[in-house]
A and B are shown apart, each in its own frame.
Chain A
């Protein structure tokens, strides 16, 4: 177990709706990253938060947004859902700011299906 939890495990939404996914990082891990993993693909970096501030972003539109809270929990919000948003969403936590070059501890993911 990595100590990173995500909720819900599965979710079904319709196109145009909004969704909030949640992640609870390991205690003491100040950095959380979110990834989208389409079926049969590797994870794609969405964005990273460090001490409640966005610290970097991948090639995702602004309708993907996030929040990080002082209690090591975080959220991924997606507005105006599209069919292509159907994927496994992963969060990963690390201790410091160089998240990509430290060991990342992944949660089990939330499977989102957009109909």
Chain B
């Protein structure tokens, strides 16, 4: 089955810095890669996603890149703000499936 590795497990940055979270996946059939933000006491919320026919996608301060050859994808957050502090999860889903495999999460701490 699919295996998703996520790094780092904890990321601490100063307000205004950029943050990068990286994930690798094992199943070459995976073709959909969503990213979720989970705040304390809440369920995960989709923040951005990318499909395998696209190499990069951007939404304001958030961007995701995908390297299909290397089987890795990354989340980039620019101009971080304290409200970006949360746990971020990547996930991978195979084209023939609807079952997402999640990474173990990255706790992002943005210091004011």
Contact = CB atoms under 8 A, between A and B. Distances in A.
A binds B: yes
Interface of A: 2, 4, 40-45, 48, 55-56, 58, 90, 92, 97-101, 103-104, 106-109
B98 A43 contact: no
Contacts of B104: 40-42
Interface of B: 4, 6, 32, 34, 36, 41-46, 49, 89, 91, 93, 97-105
Contact of B43 (A56, A92, A100): A92
Given A42-B105, A101-B32, A2 B43 contact: yes
Contacts of B42: 108-109
A104 to B, nearest CB: 7
A100 B44 contact: no
Nearest to A99: B98
Interface of B is mostly: strand
Given A40-B104, A42-B103, A42-B104, A100 B45 contact: no
A41 B103 CA distance: 8
Nearest to B102: A42
